[in-house]
Amino acid sequence: MRTTLAVFVVLAVAPGAAAGPLDAPGAAKAVVCSACHGEGGQSPSNVMPILAGMPSWYLKKAVDDYAAGRRLSPEMEPYAKQVLQLGVDEIAAYFAGQTRRPPDVRSDPAAVERGRAAAGQCVGCHTASGKGDPAKGIPDITGQPPGYLQNQMLLFKTDRRSPGDESLKALKAFFKTLPDEQIADLAGFYSSLR
């Protein structure tokens, strides 16, 4: 235990170090994920979501949905099955314990302001903070790369995310009323929230 703590301290202060030692539970099992999702789940791109700080219940749901083909993704379906075989609980707990940094991809400030003005439509479910309500299965949608948020909303709008899911019917009907430009603005706004 003493060794583990010492390693943690060194890593925490060393420039460029990861957020924790790789022999922490789940950390080693998550190394394959970092190719796309970044070191410690801090995705640097505009496409892949940031897993650092993601609540474990939501990451586990996402992995289950990808593995079962409910969320359609030729990229994530195989990896989700790999994660389930490795142990999703440990991996989800590892990412949940990482401190999330703001996305490397920043949103256009004008889009953020337009998105803020349009976000009143979202607070009913995702709450004023955008942090959602885990008890109702409503996820935190803040602080993700804008491109990722935009793509997910477009997938809902075109019924390519979780097709046939009755619980998402109202959400998808709502997105169908939104112009794509407003979806981009909402993505920019929620990406900017911390």
Partner 1 sequence: MTRFTRREFLVTSGTGLGLLAAGCAPTIKGDFSPKTGRRVVVIGGGWGGATAAKYVRLADPSIEVILLEPNRRFVSCPFSNLVLSGVRTIDSLTFGYRGLRNHGVRVLHEAATAIEPDARRVRVGEGYLQYDRLIVSPGVEFQTEQVDGLGQAGDEVLHAWKAGPQTVMLADRLRAMPDGGVFVLTVPPVAYRCPPGPYERVCQVAWYLKNNKPKSKLIVLDANQNIVSKTALFRAAWQAYPNLEYRASNKVVKVDPGARQVTTEFGDAVKYDVVNLIPPQRAGTIAVQADLVSADKRWCEVNHVTYESVKHQNVHVIGDSTIGLPVPKSGNIANAMGKISALAVVHLLNGKEPLALAPGNTCYSWVNDREAIAVVNAYRIDGGKVVQIEQKLTPGQSAQWGRHAVGWATSIWNDVLG
Interacting residues with partner 1 (CB under 8 A): 7, 10-11, 14-18, 21-23, 28-29, 31-32, 34-40, 42-48, 74-75, 77-79, 81-82, 85-86, 104, 147, 151
Other beta carbons within 10 angstroms of residue 33's beta carbon come to 21
CB of 87 to partner 1, least distance (A): 11
User: For residues 54 and 126, which CB has a smaller minimum distance to partner 1 in the complex?
Assistant: 54
User: For residues 33 and 186, which CB has a smaller minimum distance to partner 1 in the complex?
Assistant: 33
CB of 31 to partner 1, least distance (A): 4
CB of 79 to partner 1, least distance (A): 5
User: For residues 130 and 147, which CB has a smaller minimum distance to partner 1 in the complex?
Assistant: 147
Q: What is the largest CA-CA distance in the chain?
A: 57
